[in-house]
A = this chain, B = another copy of it.
Amino acid sequence: MPSSTVENYLKNILIVSLETKSSVVSMGKIAQGLSVTPGTATTMIKNMAADGWISYFPRKGVRLTRKGRKFAMSMLRRHRLLETFLVETLGLDWSEIHVEAEELEHAISEKVLEKLDEFLGRPRTDPHGHPIPTKGGHIYRANSKTLFLCKAGMKVRIDSIIDQESDFLRFARSKKLIPGNEVTILSHEKEADAIILQIGSDNPFSLGSRSSEKILVSL
């Protein structure tokens, strides 16, 4: 069994490789994602490679092995099921669940997780709209695009919010930028780096690229 530190490295590598759609993840991304110095990441990664969690390509980066990917998926499953539980059952706020789940995911056993999944009615997505991997380690890939890529006139549905920062999540909710909601793009001016959009009959508002890239949509 991996230590919680190894669990964190694995989950992080998986998330980055899903986000960037490339199976090889650079050392820089890893060090940054785990908030450790580059040297720490290097030593850790070498140990993990020795234990068969990843393949290590010096000065290139890292790729999850089959075993590593499977475990990383199970971490993601834990995390997202726990987030769902914290919101749905205990009524915690959308913006505070990430940190809580980050701790609990290392402590919950497969057995308890299975019961929790059952209790929650086997949800497909977490409160941020992210798909929850199955027990077998399979993840549903929505073909979402970021809101930033949408053209004026389009009407799309929000799939998920990528950012886990409480501040952004609070802002998102206040604007009704919530999974499931429909958004109309009123205009998208590249030069101004601004998308103007409207949800329902609320007042239109604008988002820059930084923010609109954090929102995945489809349709």
Contact A111 B89 (CB under 8 A): no
Docked pose: A131 CA to B107 CA in angstroms = 24
Q: What is the count of identical protomers in the complex?
A: 2
Contact B90 A100 (CB under 8 A): no
Least CB distance from A5 to B in Å reads 14
Given contacts A96-B111, A111-B96, contact A90 B104 (CB under 8 A): no
Contact B92 A112 (CB under 8 A): yes
Least CB distance from A88 to B in Å reads 11
Contact B111 A100 (CB under 8 A): yes
Find residues 99-115 in chain A having any chain B CB closer than 8 Å to their own CB.
100, 103-104, 106-109, 111-112, 115
Least CB distance from A81 to B in Å reads 12
A92: which B residues are within 8 A, CB to CB?
111-112, 115
A91 within 8 A of B: yes
A111: which B residues are within 8 A, CB to CB?
92, 96, 100
Q: Looking at the complex, which one of B86, B96, B108, B119 makes contact with A89 (CB distance below 8 Å)?
A: B119
A109: which B residues are within 8 A, CB to CB?
100, 103
Docked pose: A214 CA to B24 CA in angstroms = 56
A116 within 8 A of B: yes
Residues of A within 8 A of B (CB): 86, 89-92, 96, 100, 103-104, 106-109, 111-112, 115-116, 119
Contact A112 B86 (CB under 8 A): yes
Contact B112 A108 (CB under 8 A): no
CB nearest to A97 among chain B residues: B112
Q: Looking at the complex, which one of B91, B106, B112 makes contact with A115 (CB distance below 8 Å)?
A: B91
Docked pose: A119 CA to B91 CA in angstroms = 9
9 other contacts beyond A90-B112, A106-B107, with CB at 8 A cut-off?
A86-B112, A89-B119, A90-B115, A100-B112, A103-B108, A104-B104, A104-B107, A104-B112, A107-B107
Least CB distance from A181 to B in Å reads 26
Contact B106 A90 (CB under 8 A): no
Q: Looking at the complex, which one of B86, B89, B90, B103 makes contact with A107 (CB distance below 8 Å)?
A: B103
A115: which B residues are within 8 A, CB to CB?
90-92
